[in-house]
C-alpha cells in the first residue's frame, strides 16, 4: 500500500488514498531544446500528476524538483480534473478512464468552448 495524505491549502489533513489502487495520469511535457517543460505547470522544475482514487475522487499531486519542497495532494473538482486531462492526457489514457468519468469528460468536452 502506498498511502498518500490529502491536505487542504492550509496543510490540514482531509483524507488519504492508496496510490496502488488509484489511476494515475502523468503530466504531458514538451521539449524546449534544452529541457522537458511540464504542460501542466509551464516550467521545468514544477510538476503535476492526476489521480482518480478507488472512491472516485480526483486528486491533484503537485511537486517540485527544488530542494526542500514537499509534494502536495489536493482534491479537485470534476471540471478542474477534466480541464487538466484535456491538456495532459494521451488519447489512450482518456479511453482507459472508467465509464462514468469518461462520460463526464465527454460531456465536459461537449460543453467547453474551443
Give the span between the Cα atoms of 27 and 45, in whole angstroms.
Answer: 13
The whole domain housing 90 covers: 3-111
pLDDT confidence of 113, banded at 50, 70, 90?
low
| Stated pTM of the model | 0.91
pLDDT higher than threshold 60 for residue 39: yes
Q: Percent of the chain beyond pLDDT 90?
A: 90
pLDDT higher than threshold 80 for residue 62: yes
pLDDT higher than threshold 90 for residue 98: yes
Give the span between the Cα atoms of 8 and 19, in whole angstroms.
Answer: 18
In the predicted model, what is the mean pLDDT of residues 55-70? 94
Give the span between the Cα atoms of 39 and 3, in whole angstroms.
Answer: 27
Counted domains in the chain:
1
Amino acid at each position: 500500500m502506498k498511502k498518500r495524505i490529502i491536505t487542504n491549502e492550509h496543510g490540514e489533513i482531509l483524507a488519504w488514498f492508496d496510490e496502488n489502487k488509484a489511476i494515475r495520469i502523468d503530466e504531458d511535457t514538451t521539449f524546449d531544446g534544452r529541457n522537458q517543460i511540464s504542460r501542466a505547470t509551464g516550467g521545468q522544475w514544477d510538476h503535476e500528476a492526476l489521480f482518480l482514487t478507488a472512491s472516485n475522487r480526483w486528486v491533484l499531486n503537485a511537486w517540485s524538483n527544488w530542494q526542500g519542497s514537499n509534494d502536495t495532494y489536493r482534491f479537485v473538482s470534476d471540471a478542474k480534473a477534466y480541464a487538466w486531462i484535456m491538456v495532459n492526457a494521451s488519447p489512450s489514457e482518456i479511453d482507459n478512464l472508467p465509464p462514468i468519468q469518461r462520460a463526464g469528460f465527454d460531456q465536459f468536452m461537449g460543453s467547453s468552448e474551443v
